[in-house]
Amino acid sequence: MTTLQPTKPLHAHADSALDPIRAKVLAGERLSLDDGAVLYATNDIWSVIELADLVRRRMHGDKAYYNINRHLNYSNVCALSCKFCEFYRKRGEPGEYTRSIDYIKDEARKGIESGATEMHIVGGLHPYLPFDYYTDMLSALRETAPDIHLKAFTAVELVHLARIAKVYKRDDIKSGVRWVLEKLIAAGLGSLPGGGAEVFDDRVHKEAFKNKIGAHEWLDVHLVAHELGLNTNCTMLYGHVDKRDERLRHMEILRRSQDQALARIGYEGDPSAYIAEGIPEAQQITAPVVTLNRDDAQLPTPAMSERGGYYQTITPLPFFPDGSDLESLPGPSGLENLRTIAITRLMLDNFPHVKAFWIMQTLPMAQLMLEAGADDIDGTVVWYDITKAVGEHTHQETTVLDLQKAITEAGFVPVERDTLYREVVRNGNEWHI
Ligand code: V47
């Protein structure tokens, strides 16, 4: 019997420009920004998907992850006015809200009732809430639901908290953020979500989210979190004023930041570290190159976090134009979303997980994306205010059975994970790792 080796695409319309990229992927080598541009330009989308699937299966076989979680947006009041954002309200504007600690505790109780293992907590940059609100929130949650992991606050919020707590120093962001994170960890913080990264590019920053922190600060916050032993995630909000090459540079910057994190926790990489072409000096990271896209690569585990944290997951977020200042833009197509997930898997060769966030991608597209590089679809979510895929509703819940069914139907084995990707053993609402 002969084994089928995916050294050549099996479909018609194969693009030979992908041959050198195919060879690199099969050898587990790092792709260049130019390779990324070829992957974006080709009409041979099936080969791009096939290559991403190969890497995804090397890392995770036929497992696909989901979790039982609750997203909590504690306030939509925000000092910023990012053009892509429909979520924020100014103080006094109709629809503004800020949740009380009692409301938040109630959410935690509902989380316990539904068997949730995670609360994902983010909000706007509230100009007046005191620093204590955030530590009280975490302490109250810790007390009410001691077993639920608290994944909370994006890098942007953490810099804002440093300002509120008056520990922010423009020329030394890290020390203020370290102070903030130490306080939040003591109150119960378990990891950082990946929001607020958008696209690391000065032009895009200026056009779409001018007053938000830039790449340099975002990366510094995650660096400090990793140094303190927290695992973090990251995102890429694309399909608005960004261009494909800017997305690729964003991926490159994240990839180098992960090289740095993995080196810190003991991965021995290729010491012939490189300076990436086209990346601004401020975002150049010199670290050994670490790749995980080979059959024999060992993915990082939570146990390694004792030596420092790392990026677990990249979640590409497709832009939702409705209600934002960029409403006139069309937003990315389904095909662009599929291609971007696949390219993300191929470029971010040192990231263990790629998430197709079903809330933004829709569950049917997330199913397809499991075949195109994604290995995770996020969780039950329940309430989500930042984007609304269908209609006006912030109640965006799916059941565990729906998630499992979607994964099984796509030909994968559903695996419930906790926030740190440990497999959950469950008996109803009782669970353990
Ligand atoms: O930070 C805002 C983005 C993010 C829009 O870490 C928009 O596991 C699309 O970060 N269209 C929040 N996106 C979501 C997020 C996230 C989601 C799921 C999992 C994880 C994780 C993180 O949503 C914001 C911003 O980048 N966003 N407005 C919009 N109109």
CB 347 within 8 A of CB 252: yes
Ligand 1 neighbour 35 (Cβ under 6 A): no
Is 315 close to ligand 1, i.e. is its CB under 6 Å away?
yes
Helices (H), 61-201: 101-113, 131-144, 155-164, 173-187
Q: Structural domains in the chain? A: 65-417 (3.20.20.70)
CA–CA gap between residue 53 and residue 22 (Å, rounded)? 12
- Would you state the pLDDT for residue 209? 96
Confidence (pLDDT) at 353: 98
- Counting ligand 1 atoms within 8 A of each CB, the residue from 69, 76, 235, 355 with the most, and so the one to mutate, is 235
Q: Is 356 in the pocket of ligand 1 (CB under 6 A)?
A: no
Alpha carbon distance 386, 320 (integer Å): 10
Task: Chunk the chain into consecutive blocks of 10 residues (it has 433) and report each block's average pLDDT, rounded to whole numbers.
Answer: 57 87 97 98 96 98 96 96 96 95 97 95 97 98 98 98 96 97 98 98 96 96 98 98 98 98 95 89 93 95 87 98 96 98 98 96 97 96 72 73 96 98 92 93
* Rounded Cα distance, 389 and 36, in Å: 29
Q: From residue 410, how far is each of 62, 249, 326, 339, 345 by CA, in Å?
A: 10, 31, 34, 18, 18
User: 291: which DSSP letter?
Assistant: -
Report pLDDT for 392.
Answer: 57
Collapsing DSSP states into helix, strand and coil, what is residue 197?
Answer: coil
**Residues contacting residue 225 through CB under 8 Å, at least 6 positions apart:** 181, 192, 232, 309
Q: CA 363 to CA 398: how far, in whole Å?
A: 9
CB atoms within 10 A of CB 61: 11
Q: What is the pLDDT of residue 395?
A: 76
Residue among 386, 387, 417, 418 to mutate when testing ligand 1 (max atoms within 8 A of CB)? 386
Q: Ligand 1, from 151, 233, 317: best to mutate by most atoms within 8 Å of Cβ?
A: 317
Q: Which long-range contacts (CB under 8 A, 24 or more apart) does 329-337 make?
A: 329/240, 329/241, 331/239, 331/240, 332/238, 332/239, 334/365, 335/45, 336/239, 337/239, 337/361, 337/365, 337/369
CA distance linking residue 146 with residue 142, whole number of Å: 5
Distance from residue 154's CA to the centre of ligand 1 (Å): 10
Q: Measured from the CA of 193, which atom of ligand 1 is nearest?
A: 6
Return the pLDDT at 302: 85
- Ligand 1 atom closest to Cα of 323? 30
Q: How far apart (Å, rounded) are the C-alpha atoms in residues 314 and 349?
A: 11
Among 130, 108, 103, 308, which Cα is nearest to 188's?
108
User: What pairing do the DSSP bridges indicate for beta strands 69-73 and 376-379?
Assistant: unpaired
What is the DSSP secondary-structure string of 218-237?
HHHHHHHHHHTT-EEEEEEE
Residue 379's region, left for phi above 0, alpha for psi from -120 to 50, else beta, is: beta
Shortest CA distance to 221 belongs to which of 188, 259, 261, 251?
Answer: 261
